[in-house]
Amino acid sequence: MGIDTALSEISSLLGNRLSRAKVDLAHHGQSEAWFPPSPPDAVAYPESTEEVSQLVRICHAHGVPVIGWGAGTSLEGHALAVRGGVVVDFSHMNNIVAINDADLDAVVQPGITREELNHELRTTGLFFPIDPGANASLGGMTSTRASGTTAVRYGTMRDNVLGLEVVLADGRVIHTGTRARKSSAGYDLTGLFVGAEGTLGLITQITLRLVAQPETILSGICRFSKFNDAVDAVIATIQMGIPMARIEFVDATMAKAFNDYAGASFPEDPHLMVEFHGSDAGVKDDSARFAEIIADFNGDGFEVAQKPEDRTALWAMRHNGYYAALALRPGAKALTTDVCVPISRLAEAVEETRAEIDESFLEGPILGHVGDGNFHACLLFEPDRPEEMAEVKRLSRNMAQRALRLGGTITGEHGIGMGKTDLMEAEHGAAWDVMGDLKRALDPDGIMNPGKLVRGN
């Protein structure tokens, strides 16, 4: 069989860095999402681009699927081997290749995580700003076009990836982009691979934009009695041009979850969690203006966290929102879905979503990076109850269709994977077929992360 021959050849290449151990297959057959386990046939741990290239050439010759793996934190089943094959785990390719302080960029391998990179950058006066919450690998973040809590100020991975090294489906190695800040030379292949979810090739090196560490950081939290007041305060803040580094929304159900899970003492009402970056004078001015805005929208005070340990505790609680939500119903799973809408339609989108969840028989806290119109619902269900599975899928689909009706997108940061492929035509129309054409041009045998993102893949 093709798979047996391929694995024999890969074993000769990698030795004991090709694993078929049951525990390894099980670990790489699950995800943070609700999808059932899908163990691969083997897990490979390459240590260089050349090894990745040779491995892919072998799989290409034998028609064996190849699936990239970072930290396994994706929420739409992106890295599951739904048709078997070889999972390529990049944890051994986790080095910083170069830090170019003067040019504010760094070249890294895909297996390094954002926290590891920022730990190494702490003495340079620079940092990498994209913060999706999870300590995701930078290869995974690039492949899913991730964003997160700081996107309102620093953008997404699309805005912060300057260039890539990619192994294509036939084993060829290409380089996209340069370290220059702009280029007019040809197609934007970097943009093509950022967000392709591993369906076009495996990313083996990334050139990232860095930014200066801010002189002053101030975080804070404020309460609202009505969630639409909180959302309207966000809209007003953005429209007034106040340069927020983070502006996060949590609803009353999420506030309760924080209290139960993290020992917080929030009133069970909607809250905004915010952060300002800049000079000392600039941060003070921005926070004062924000305090005036929240007062206009019936916000109850603005509790400041300026000490590093207080800020860390505040954002650690926010980043653990997924696990806090799960704790609301022990033993349940969560279908964690996201949408993104124009900021002017955000209040309408959140209000309709909250009302529909309240009418349902299931719980679903809402939270999100609302500074850029992006929010999430953690829909809790028991997977062995078909009626609950059907209900969370209905609620998730309605969220996506609502976002499209309001001029938005079915996902602002989680990506498509295999969880939202049935909604791609509704958003993209004939452009989804063009994506399929690109896929077939670069991967005619369909071995790169099959079953994800494009039609018939």
Pair 86, 55: CB distance under 8 Å: yes
Q: Report which of 78, 200, 61 is spatially closest to residue 451, judged by C-alpha positions.
A: 78
Q: Is residue 410 included in any domain, yes or no?
A: no
Pair 98, 107: CB distance under 8 Å: yes
84 and 110 part of one domain: no
Q: Report which of 293, 434, 408, 264 is spatially closest to residue 339, judged by C-alpha positions.
A: 408
Q: Is the pTM of this model over 0.85?
A: yes
Pair 203, 139: CB distance under 8 Å: yes
CA 327/CA 314 separation, integer angstroms: 18
384 and 435 part of one domain: no
List alpha helices for 31-137, DSSP H: 49-62, 114-121
pLDDT band at 1 (very low <50, low <70, confident <90, very high): low
Which two three-digit tokens encode residue 369? Answer: 């990076």
DSSP 448: B
Q: pLDDT tens digit string along 375-412?
A: 999 999 998 999 999 999 999 999 999 999 999 999 99
Q: Report which of 81, 106, 151 is spatially closest to residue 447, judged by C-alpha positions.
A: 81
Last residue of a domain, one of 70, 91, 112: 91
Show the domain range for 316.
216-405
194 and 281 part of one domain: no
CA dist 146 → 43, 68, 130, 161, 194 (Å): 24, 16, 8, 11, 9
Pair 227, 291: CB distance under 8 Å: no
Kindly report the length of the chain: 457
Pair 248, 318: CB distance under 8 Å: yes
Task: Report the domain count for the chain.
Answer: 4
Q: Count other C-beta atoms under 10 Å from residue 53's C-beta.
A: 19
SS3 223: strand
401 and 262 part of one domain: yes
SS3 174: strand
CA 141/CA 206 separation, integer angstroms: 11
Last residue of a domain, one of 51, 66, 91: 91
231 and 373 part of one domain: yes
Cross-strand bridge partners of residue 336: 378
Across 284-288, 367-371, 381-385, least confident range: 367-371
Q: pLDDT tens digit string along 198-240?
A: 999 999 999 999 999 999 999 999 999 988 899 889 889 988 9
DSSP 366: E
